[in-house]
A = this chain, B = another copy of it.
Amino acid sequence: MREHMRLYLVADPAFAGTRRLPDIVAAAVRGGVTMVQLRDKGDHVGRFVQEARAVRQVLEGTGVPLIINDRVDVAHAIGADGVHLGQRDLPVRDARRLLGREAIIGLSIEQAAQLAHADLAAVDYLGAGPVFATATKPDAAPPLGLDGLAAIRTACGLPVVAIGGLSLDNAAGVIAAGADGIAVVSAVMAAHDVTHAAAQLRARIGG
């Protein structure tokens, strides 16, 4: 599990521009992305399902797991490797019951105090953030900072992927604070050369 956390791409079609999302994902994996979360906040679930199936095809045989944000039904329908759930999403225990023991279930943690209320036995990894302020998720909680990230790391043995405002400049510091990896959206999605951007990040993180 922990090794899949290294460079975690949040693939959001809102950042795809005129490019095809599966192509962006394929390019990112060539650059060293170790896990892909597909996130679609639009209201066209049928399209999300089609898109998710196309991304799953691209990832087949690469060893890179595909995780669906929020929609446990979409994850189940397309045979994804798991789901990523926020604090307001389907409870992790219900997701585990639907998806079974083998599924990867990630949970967003916005502050260490949330760990006390979380059903961590149903969770495989934590997404901790936002570490820094971010423009890509305007409704995000206040930034954790590196101290807040370290507090989550200390409080819980689960693999932790840091998210929120991460880039080449601050990636190494986040790893030093204890994260197993970094999750990026625009740092890869919005790059002119997606493969190069992913490879640079991967080199900066190591692992």
Residues of A that sit less than 8 Å from B by CB = 43-47, 49, 70-74, 76-77, 87-91, 94-95, 97-98
Contact = CB atoms under 8 A, between A and B. Distances in A.
B98 A77 contact: yes
A73 B46 contact: no
Nearest to A48: B90
A98 B70 contact: no
Given A72-B73, A77-B97, A90 B44 contact: no
A15 to B, nearest CB: 20
Nearest to A93: B77
27 contacts: A43-B88, A44-B88, A45-B70, A45-B88, A45-B89, A45-B90, A46-B87, A46-B88, A46-B89, A46-B90, A46-B91, A47-B88, A49-B90, A49-B91, A49-B94, A71-B73, A72-B73, A73-B90, A73-B94, A73-B95, A74-B90, A76-B98, A77-B90, A77-B91, A77-B94, A77-B95, A77-B98
Contacts of A49: 90-91, 94
A94 B48 CA distance: 13
A84 to B, nearest CB: 13
A97 to B, nearest CB: 7
Contact of A73 (B44, B47, B76, B87): B76
A97 B95 CA distance: 17
Nearest to A42: B88
A38 B97 CA distance: 22
Contacts of A46: 87-91
A2 to B, nearest CB: 27
Top 4 closest A-B pairs, CB basis? A72-B73, A77-B94, A73-B73, A44-B88
Given A45-B90, A77-B95, 17 more contacts: A43-B88, A45-B70, A45-B89, A46-B87, A46-B89, A46-B90, A49-B90, A49-B91, A71-B73, A72-B77, A73-B73, A73-B95, A74-B90, A76-B98, A77-B90, A77-B91, A77-B94
